[in-house]
Amino acid sequence: MTTSSLTYGEAILSGFRYLLSNYPEVFVIGQGLWSPWYVGNSMTGLDKEFGQNRIIDSPVSELAVTGAAVGASLCGYRPIVVHPRMDFMILATDQIVNQAAKWSHMFGGQAHASVTVRSIVNRGGEQGAQHSQSLHAWFAHIPGLRVVMPATPEDARDLLIASVLSGDPVLYIDDRWLYEIEQEVSPIVEKNLRTEGPKVIRTGTDCTLVGSSYATQLCVEAAAHLEKQGVSCEIIDLRVVNPLIFDEIISSVEKTRKLCVVDGGWSACGLAGEIIAGICEKTAPSLLESTPVRLTLPDAPAPTSGPLESTYYFQSDDIVAAVLRLVSKRVGELSR
């Protein structure tokens, strides 16, 4: 199998190319698709290659555009809607939560909204509270809506393809902070989204680190540092956060008996809490040797000023520090 090196952004682009070339029922609609600045290098040239009838740059109408994609999906198409900032997608919530996610169930499985909503997390750079949110936990709460968060170039490409081909409504969340990450990727093989889930991307024995999207990459950096300090971390990249498959996380924690969850969302009712709760429910009470830890954003909107931003967003150093405390303490000893 020949591999090639792709950045995350290029990998998304290649996923789009693959879908548009092989599936005439795929089209893309959203804001900024004909211009480079909204979506980085992830869609460059698609409108020229596939025509502006299949790559549709839209009015500033998140709700109607998302609804139109859902409507077209009910008529046999597999549209991808692009929301260049997840914050803007909130205006389309009715169509995602009330319509697409419910369609199969409320009509007795006779129709499915085979729509993919691509939502981009784009934060930092002093863009402030309304250009920064990672709201995956909100949407992962909704039965009927699959939520996918690729952390690597290969997943960015392959899970995009799997999302569009899944037949279900899928929220595919990619992150601008990942776009330059490079990886050797294998040739495309179509995957079944139903069976894709969390994956061990690094094996280790002392502590389980769970992350998704950009947080996974921070875990990778942190694990490298921790290894130098004699702590061996196992990393689980969640990849698909709804429906969430727990098997890999459970077996990893059964091995390491320590759990640290890193999440780019907030803590309240969030993904990190969900992982910890799931482990508490699904394993023996005596399994964990240390109180589990979650690393999330402070419970505050994203600030604008640079110095505040650098406190607000955790770095791999913060993960290193959290894991060092975790591995040195026993259950109940950990403060916070």
Binding site for other proteins (CB under 8 A): 27, 53, 56, 58-59, 61, 63-77, 79, 94-95, 98-99, 102-112, 114, 143-144, 146, 165-168, 192, 194, 243
- Cis peptide leading into 169, omega within 30 of 0? no
Residue 98 or residue 205: which is nearer to other proteins going by CB? Answer: 98
Q: Compute the least distance from the CB of residue 272 to other proteins, in Å.
A: 24
Q: Compute the least distance from the CB of residue 198 to other proteins, in Å.
A: 18
Cα of 258 vs its chain's centroid, Å: 23
- Give exposure, 17-36, as e/b (b: 16+ Cβ within 10 Å): bbbbeeeeebbbbbbbbeee
Residue 25 or residue 227: which is nearer to other proteins going by CB? Answer: 25
Task: Tokens 């839209």: give the residue.
Answer: 58
Q: Compute the least distance from the CB of residue 18 to other proteins, in Å.
A: 15
Q: Is 131 known to be catalytic?
A: yes
Contact between residue 297 and residue 266 where contact means Cβ atoms under 8 Å apart? yes
Quickly list DSSP for 146-180.
Answer: EEE---SHHHHHHHHHHHHHSSS-EEEEEEGGGTT
Q: Residue 61 has which token pair?
A: 């109408």
Q: Which amino acid is at 295?
A: L
Q: Compute the least distance from the CB of residue 213 to other proteins, in Å.
A: 22
Residue 88 or residue 312: which is nearer to other proteins going by CB? Answer: 88
C-alpha dist (Å) from residue 101 to 124, 161, 166, 170, 198: 31, 19, 13, 9, 22
Q: From the candidates 112, 131, 136, 141, give the one annotated as an active-site residue.
A: 131
Residue 94 or residue 126: which is nearer to other proteins going by CB? Answer: 94
Instruction: List residues with catalytic annotation.
Output: 131
